[in-house]
Amino acid sequence: MRQKLHASLLLCVLICIPIIFSACVSSTTEAVVTPPTDTPIPATITPTRLPPTPETEKKVIGAILFLNDNFFETVALGMEDVAKEAGVDIQFHFHEDDVLLETQWIYEFVQQGVDAILISPRVVDLDGSIAAIHEAYKAGIPVVCYNGCFTDEVTAENVAGIFETDQYSIGYRVGEYLVSWLEARGLEEPHIGILSCCEKRDAGFRQALLDHNLTWYEDANYEEYRADESMVAAENMLQRNPQITILWAQNEGATIGAVSGVRAENLAGQVFVFGVDMSPQIAQMLLADDDILQAVAAQSPYEIGKLTAEAALVAMETGKKAGYHNVDTSFFSRDDLTAVKAYLADQ
């Protein structure tokens, strides 16, 4: 068996690799002469070595959102589009009005070593999120605020830019519209219930009524801004104060909750809502036949998010601060339902 295997191997060598075989025979065998060529072949060829491609890590922006609602989701979309176009990663966290959670997200972003932090802060504890923002500043991480910011002193030292709505102006605009709405209907001395969340919006609203010499009564004021809680609050104030004819809701959640509360109490045609912020749900409420929601002053959340992210990119690359900016607003009412439908068509 072993003799047959040797014979097979020998046959393979003779057939498959004659050149190798001839190189292994006795030195008395005649050498194989290679025919001359026009181009001499160099004895050794040194390969061309390309310089190594540097490994670059993708930059990362950390964004902290106040609430998980349409306004902040739209803000996030503006941020995300800018980051995507710039080839930058962006990570989102919500703190849902929880300063401890807000603080935790800031510290996590600092420890992670992100290249910028975008934040709509809830400042209630000087040893909380403000201390965390100082850590971001010391780590050289640019911080850009939107929809509000920290105290002036903290902002001047630690913040690279602020992009927000003129909150006083947006409240004033709602108040001014309410005055004209009442006059058009011949209504005087309204009883008003308020779902509050923003001191500046509230101050603007009150000043508009004062400037137009409107006599009015504040029958209830609950601090609510989430839709579910605002609905319960609206129902409670309407049950306890049946004289209320106007609800002034100061943000998206409160506006949705106020309309839902009026519907739950079957008071369509008796109680009317004036609010702040625009969303597809609010647009549908403006178009509804129940005639409850009359008007809203609307912010520009996508533009806020876009400008905030752009300022962060500049700060990351150059260290340049963007400063303070008010972002344009708009107004929607039953006086121009075409504009409301156009808004929905763009969503």
**Predicted pLDDT of residue 56:** 55
Please give the pLDDT value at position 46: 45
- Mean pLDDT value across residues 68-74: 92
C-alpha triplet 44, 48, 50: angle, nearest 5°: 155
Q: How sure is the predictor about 209, in pLDDT bands with cuts at 50, 70 and 90?
A: very high
Mean per-residue pLDDT, 214-223: 98
Antiparallel, parallel or unpaired: β 143-146 and 159-164: parallel
- The torsion angles phi and psi of 320, rounded to 5 degrees, stand at -75, 135
Q: Label residue 1 by pLDDT band (50, 70, 90).
A: very low
Q: Is 90 exposed, middle or buried (0-12, 13-18, 19+ CB in 10 A)?
A: buried
Q: Please determine, for residue 163, whether its predicted confidence score (pLDDT) is greater than 90.
A: yes
Q: Which of 2-6, 65-69, 298-302 has the lowest mean pLDDT?
A: 2-6
| 226 and 196 Cβ atoms separated by less than 8 Å | no
Please spell the DSSP secondary structure of 157-206, one letter per residue.
HHEEEEEE--HHHHHHHHHHHHHHHHHHTT--S-EEEEEE--HHHHHHHH
> What is the Cα Rg of the chain in Å?
35
pLDDT of residue 12: 38
Q: What is the dihedral of CA 216, 221, 227, 229, to 10 degrees?
A: -150
Domains for the chain: give ranges and CATH numbers.
Answer: 60-164+302-327 (3.40.50.2300), 168-298 (3.40.50.2300)
| Residue 26 pLDDT exceeds 60 | no
Q: What is the pLDDT of residues 93-136, one digit of tens each?
A: 998 888 889 999 999 999 999 999 999 987 655 556 888 999 99
Q: What is the pLDDT of residue 138?
A: 94
Give the pair of three-digit tokens for residue 166: 């003129």
pLDDT, mean of residues 241-263: 98
> Tell me, what's the pLDDT at 17?
36
Q: What DSSP letter does each residue of 47-102 carry, written as one string?
A: PPPPPPPPP-PPPEEEEEES-SSHHHHHHHHHHHHHHHHHT-EEEEEE-TT-HHHH
The average confidence (pLDDT) of the chain is 86
Pairing type for strands 293-298 and 330-333 reads antiparallel
Share of the chain above pLDDT 90, in %: 74
pLDDT band per the 50, 70, 90 thresholds, residue 57: confident
pTM score of the predicted model: 0.80
Q: Which residue has the higher pLDDT, 27 or 72?
A: 72
- Predicted confidence (pLDDT) at residue 13 exceeds the cutoff of 80: no
Residue 37 has pLDDT above 70, yes or no: no
Using alpha carbons, select from 67, 65, 81, 64 the residue that is nearest to residue 309: 81
Q: Once rounded to an integer, what is the mean pLDDT over residues 153-165?
A: 90
Q: What's the pLDDT at 39?
A: 40
